[in-house]
Amino acid sequence: MRVLIVDDSRTARVLLRESLKDLKAEIFEAANGVEALDTLKKHDPIQLAFVDWIMPEMDGLAFVKAVRADRARDSLVLVMVTQQTHLSDVDQALKAGANEYLMKPFTPESLSEKLQILGLLPS
């Protein structure tokens, strides 16, 4: 599996990378949505992306919308990983095309639960 982590915080990217060790995935990183779109083109196919909401240049919501506008990327699983905790934010992300929503700070258990819900880890 190929995974993309999109977050402007290097620390957050490292934490998520460490949390995904058990997936034995090839992991790519980007610091914002613009870099992430470029990474998707360079390293196609990527099956799963974890996307922070608040980032410079192109935020996570704009990235999700851009990915969903490209029909060739319909199978890309998008998980918003953010501190945006209002139900309206969750609803907005899901309506934009995110498959799941993981709130920061997350635990390894909550990450595993989301991956199970998405069918990417056995339950």
Residues 10-23 have pLDDT tens digits of 999 999 999 998 88
25 located within any domain: yes
For residue 113, the domain's CATH number is: 3.40.50.2300
18 located within any domain: yes
Q: Look up the pTM and report it.
A: 0.95
Residues 47-56 have pLDDT tens digits of 999 999 999 9
Total domains in the chain come to 1
Range of the domain at 57: 2-117
Residues 21-76 have pLDDT tens digits of 888 899 999 999 999 999 999 999 999 999 999 999 999 999 999 999 999 999 99
Q: For residue 49, what are the CA distances in angstroms to 27, 81, 99?
A: 10, 10, 10
Q: Which residues of 57-66 are buried (b: 16+ CB within 10 A; e: fewer)?
A: ebbbbbbbbb
Which neighbouring-strand residues pair with 6?
30, 51
Q: For residue 112, what are the CA distances in angstroms to 11, 30, 55, 96?
A: 20, 22, 25, 23
